[in-house]
Structure formats: C-alpha cells, structure tokens
C-alpha cells in the first residue's frame, strides 16, 4: 500500500464514486491505513496488531458494497464479496465458510499473475512477433546446403537473402502492417476438467486434487487459422505464461492475501436468529456463525496454493438488520466486529448528487451509451430533481431499495429513446426536462398498483 494513501485522501477518493456515508468511509479509511501502520510497526508488534473488523448496518442500495469494493481497488488488494446466507454448517450440503478464504487466495493469485504478466509484456510481444516471423518466413538451417554461396562472394547466400527478407517482415510486424493476414498457428486444446466430488456432494477443498488429475491428462495440440493480430495476442499470452515463476506468484499471493486481503460478508443479518430462539433454521444459522468465528478470529486454512493464516485479513460485514439486530449474532462473533457503522437512508438531495456527481454517475453512463450512436442527451437541473423526487417517493411508498431505484426509473424514462434511436432520421439531440420525466414516469409512480411492478 502506498505511504501517501492517508485516511483523508482515501475518503476523497471514495467521494468520487460514493455520495455521503462519511462515517462509513472514515471507518474503512482508518482500517486501511492501519494496514500500512502495522506493516511499518516494530517487529515484535507486527503479529500482535489485529485488524478492527467492521460491521456496516444499513438498508440495501445505500453504498455498503460499493464502499468495500472501491476501497479494495484503491489499495490494490485482493478482495472478494460473499453472501453469508449461501453458506451452510459443516456436515450439510453446500459451501463451507473456508471456501471464502480459498476464493480470496485465488483472487490474489490472479492479481499477482496479472501484475507479473504486465511486467514482461514487452518481452512477450517481442517473442510473439519472432514466432509469427518464423511461421511467415522460416529461418534456414545453418547446415542447409542452400545456405552457402558456393564461393561466389558477389552473389549473396540463401541464408543472407533469408535474413534480409525476415528483417523486412520483422519491420512490417513491428509497424502492424500485416494485422489481417491469415496464418496457421499451433494451439493447445484445453483438456476436459476432471470433476472430483467430495463428501456430501460438495467440491470445496478438492480443487488441488482436481487440478492434479486434470494436469495428468496429456495436452492436445491442433493447428488453427487466425489473423496476425489474433496470433500475436495468443502467442504473447503463451510467452508471458512461460516467463512467470508460479512459485513466486504463489508465495506473493498468499502473503498479500494474508496481510492485505479484504473479505466482504454481505447479508450477515440473514444468519442471525432474529430473536426467535428455537430449532430448525435457527440451529443452522448459528452453526454458520460458529463456523465463521475461527476464520474471523484467525486460523490456518488449506488451499491448493498452500496454507494461509487469516489473522490479518480485514473482514467487512454488512446487513440491513430489518428483522434481526446485531445483538442477535452470537456474542463471540459480535466481539470480532468492534467497529459498527450505521449508514444513512438516502434523501432526495442524495439522489440528485448520485445522478450527476460521481465519475460513474448514472446519467453519465446513459450519455456514454448513446454517444456510441452519435446521440447527445442532456438533462436539465429540474429533470434531475424530478427523477430524484420520484425515486425518493417510490422508495417511501414501496420497498426502500436505495439508489437501485434510480436504475429502474432511468430505464423506464429512456426506454423509448434507446429503442428508437438507431432508426430515427432526425437531429440526434435529446433534451430531457421535468415535463418529459413526469410524462414518462410520473404517472406510473402515481399509480401504486402498477408502480410496484414497473418501478
């Protein structure tokens, strides 16, 4: 993690994509900075400092997942999102909680591998071009009888002519002058995966065995026709793969996942008892919590890349807690999420900002989509205000789904334009004002019996 990534700067970066929720941003920014502080602390304290896991409480669509996802991108850290309700207690059919750690390591391996491929990209492209050159103009063998000029010094040898031709083609490849030319390339045909089914029908924990058995099957090769551009991409990938030391990748990935990995556990309220103590589903929910506890506390998990310790992985849990309360979680698990942040419900003013201010604002997304059709769409301030007002009112009347309501309203608003634009013979400029918004979605919002299904 970069030294200059201070909590204030982290919040500033998150502000570019997420509106409001300052307390949640502040909490995750401190947690991320504490990572850097631990790595630079005195040696005897490095292992003692444990992360302060975070519990986010808030309705759907207020930014819980987005905050965690953007934080991981900012830190360039391995990140996975899991849903607590998808896990089952050990002994039942389904995914066990350790699978989230295995998925995190897999993500870390892909991250490190991508970084190393990028570092050897130039060399891999150079080797790919040479391989293509060998296909186009095969080099003459040194011992070939045609490679000598027979003592005539005025006449260039076949090997010299061959090398001159190769040099011309090498320059053409470098300048990408032959991109559409078809060549034949020998490619590896992916072997069929050997399916290994573990106890109770599950497959978690058997990935290593599955890979080993699949690796024992001989790889088949076949010749395929492709353009020079496609061949360069394929061969560069093959060459980059050869240059990567997978042992180093594995070591770095496990170290990075263990020290800077982030696991976002969504819907944690779904495994809380909800105040109804009893048998059946409640027993299973509590079982998942008890299985989750050692992972969050810190334990060793076996993966196909090696053993990883979870002591310093940052866990961010989130839930709406409409029915259950955080206190309905087992006490031991509550204690492992000491930082609790309540995210605010979104107001009309928040919707106005969400529509227009973030870098990936919804209005900017639709404008970019229609720009590809040479169509310009503009929204007046009163139109944005009207969309925000309708979103807020519908959330109040129906289920509150936060900012996701804006997606349904924008889709209903622009559906006709998106459908008709490619075939319209008219000026390619659309000005969206408040009257247009009221005409398209205002009436739907007013009719509660159909707004439930449409908006």
Query: Does the pLDDT at position 153 exceed 90?
Result: no
Range in 24-28, 65-69, 201-205, 360-364 the model is least confident about: 201-205
Strands 314-319 and 262-266, sheet pairing: parallel
Kindly state the helix (H) or strand (E) to which residue 263 belongs, with its residue range. Answer: strand 262-266
Range in 159-173, 194-208, 330-344 the model is least confident about: 194-208
Calculate mean pLDDT across residues 401-426: 85
CA distance readout (Å), 18 to 7, 32, 62, 316: 16, 17, 9, 17
**Ordered domains of the chain (ranges, CATH):** 7-114+252-342 (3.40.50.300), 121-144+159-243 (no CATH), 348-447 (1.10.8.60)
State how far the Cα of 264 lies from the Cα of 69, in Å rounded to an integer: 8
Give the tens place of pLDDT for each residue, 275-289.
Answer: 555 544 455 778 888
pLDDT at 45: 84
Confidence band, pLDDT 50/70/90 cuts, at residue 200: very low
Query: Does the pLDDT at position 448 exceed 70?
Result: no
pLDDT at 212: 60
Calculate mean pLDDT across residues 238-258: 91
Residue in 251, 245, 249 with CA at minimum distance from that of residue 306: 251
Query: Pick the residue with more confidence: 277 or 381?
Result: 381
Residue in 272, 288, 264 with CA at minimum distance from that of residue 326: 272
Query: Does the pLDDT at position 160 exceed 70?
Result: yes
Query: Does the pLDDT at position 204 exceed 80?
Result: no
Range in 225-229, 266-270, 283-287 the model is least confident about: 283-287
pLDDT at 248: 92
Range in 250-264, 282-296, 299-313 the model is least confident about: 282-296
At residue 220, the 3 state secondary structure works out as strand
Confidence band, pLDDT 50/70/90 cuts, at residue 111: very high
Confidence band, pLDDT 50/70/90 cuts, at residue 202: very low
What residue spans of 223-280 are helical by DSSP H? 228-243, 246-260
What b-and-e string marks burial along 79-105, b requiring 16 or more CB atoms within 10 Å of the CB?
Answer: bbbbebeebbbeeeebbbbbbbbbbbb
pLDDT at 198: 53
State how far the Cα of 321 lies from the Cα of 330, in Å rounded to an integer: 15
Model confidence pTM above 0.75: yes
Calculate mean pLDDT across residues 72-79: 86
Range in 3-7, 39-43, 69-73, 332-336 the model is least confident about: 3-7
**Averaged confidence pLDDT in the chain:** 82
Query: Pick the residue with more confidence: 219 or 244?
Result: 244
- By percentage, how much of the chain surpasses pLDDT 70? 82
Query: Does the pLDDT at position 425 exceed 80?
Result: no
Residues 6+ apart with CB under 8 A from 116: 244, 248, 249
pLDDT at 32: 87
């Amino acid at each position: 993690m970069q030294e200059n990534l201070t909590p204030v700067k982290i919040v500033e970066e998150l502000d570019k994509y997420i509106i409001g929720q300052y307390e949640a941003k502040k909490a995750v920014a401190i947690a991320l900075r504490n990572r850097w502080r631990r790595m630079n602390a005195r040696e005897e304290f490095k292992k003692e400092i444990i992360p302060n896991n975070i519990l986010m409480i808030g309705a759907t669509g207020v930014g819980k997942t987005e905050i965690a996802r953007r934080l991981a991108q900012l830190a360039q850290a391995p990140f996975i999102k899991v849903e607590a309700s998808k896990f089952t207690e050990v002994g039942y059919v389904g995914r066990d909680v350790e699978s989230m750690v295995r998925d995190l390591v897999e993500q870390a391996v892909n991250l490190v591998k991508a970084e190393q491929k990028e570092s050897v990209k130039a060399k891999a492209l150079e080797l790919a071009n040479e391989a293509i050159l060998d296909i186009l103009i095969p080099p003459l063998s040194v011992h070939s009888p045609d490679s000598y000029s027979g003592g005539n010094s005025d006449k260039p040898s076949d090997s010299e002519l061959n090398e001159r031709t190769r040099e011309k083609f090498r320059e053409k490849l470098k300048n990408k002058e032959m991109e559409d030319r078809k060549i034949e390339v020998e490619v590896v045909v992916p072997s069929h995966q050997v399916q290994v089914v573990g106890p109770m029908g599950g497959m978690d924990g058997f990935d290593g065995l599955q890979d080993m058995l699949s690796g024992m099957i001989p790889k088949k090769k076949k010749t395929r026709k492709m353009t020079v551009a496609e061949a360069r991409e394929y061969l560069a990938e093959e060459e980059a793969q050869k240059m990567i030391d997978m042992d180093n990748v594995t070591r770095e990935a496990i170290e990075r996942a263990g020290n800077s990995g982030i696991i976002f556990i969504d819907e944690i309220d779904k495994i809380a008892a909800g105040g109804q103590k009893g048998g059946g589903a409640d027993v299973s929910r509590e079982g998942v919590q008890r299985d989750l506890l050692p992972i969050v506390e810190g334990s060793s998990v076996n993966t196909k890349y090696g053993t990883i310790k979870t002591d310093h992985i940052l866990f961010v849990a989130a839930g709406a807690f409409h029915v259950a309360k955080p206190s309905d979680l087992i006490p031991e698990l509550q204690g492992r999420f000491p930082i609790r942040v309540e995210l605010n419900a979104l107001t009309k003013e928040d919707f106005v900002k969400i529509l227009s201010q973030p870098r990936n604002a919804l209005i900017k997304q639709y404008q970019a989509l229609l720009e590809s059709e040479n169509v310009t769409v503009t929204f007046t301030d009163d139109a944005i205000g009207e969309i925000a007002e309708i979103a807020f009112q519908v959330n109040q009347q129906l289920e509150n789904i936060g900012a996701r309501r804006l997606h349904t309203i924008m889709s209903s608003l622009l559906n006709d334009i998106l459908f008709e634009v490619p075939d319209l013979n008219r000026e390619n400029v659309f000005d969206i004002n408040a009257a247009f918004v009221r005409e398209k979605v205002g009436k739907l919002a007013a009719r509660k019996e159909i707004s439930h299904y449409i908006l």
